[in-house]
Amino acid sequence: MNKTELIAAIAAKTGLSKKDADKALAATIETIADTMAAGNKVQLVGFGSFETKTRAAHEGRNPLTKEVMMFPAKTVPVFKAGKALKDKVAK
C-alpha cells in the first residue's frame, strides 16, 4: 500500500474527502516527526510507539579497499509494535 492508497482507505473508512484525509495524514506524520525530533516518544496504545535511539560510534570497513573507517554516533528513529498490532498481524 502506498500513500495514495492509504489516503483512499482513510477517506473510505472515515467518510472524509480524499483531500481532508490527505491533510489529516500529513498532519499526523508531521506531528510524530516533530515530536521525535524534539527527543520525545509518541505512544499509540494498541498500535505501537515511535521513539529515537542513539546508535553508538563504531568502526567498519570499506568493502572495496578494506580500509578501516569510523562511523560517528547518530540518532535514529525506532518503531516498536504494540501487543494488539502484533496479535492482529500474527493471525
The grid coordinates listed for 32 are 510524530
Sheet architecture: strand order including 48-55 = 42-44, 48-55, 74-81
pTM above threshold 0.75:
yes
The domain covering 41-91 belongs, at the CATH homologous superfamily level, to IHF-like DNA-binding proteins (4.10.520.10)
Q: How far is CA 49 from CA 17, 41, 83, in A?
A: 28, 7, 11
Containing H/E element for 37?
helix 18-37
pLDDT in tens, 51-88: 999 999 999 999 999 999 999 999 999 999 999 999 99
Residue pair 79/50 in contact (Cβ under 8 Å)? The answer is yes
Digit-coded pLDDT (tens) for 22-53: 999 999 999 999 999 999 999 999 999 999 99
Q: Where are the domains of the chain?
A: 1-38, 41-91
Share of the chain above pLDDT 90, in %: 97
Residue 82 has a pLDDT of 95
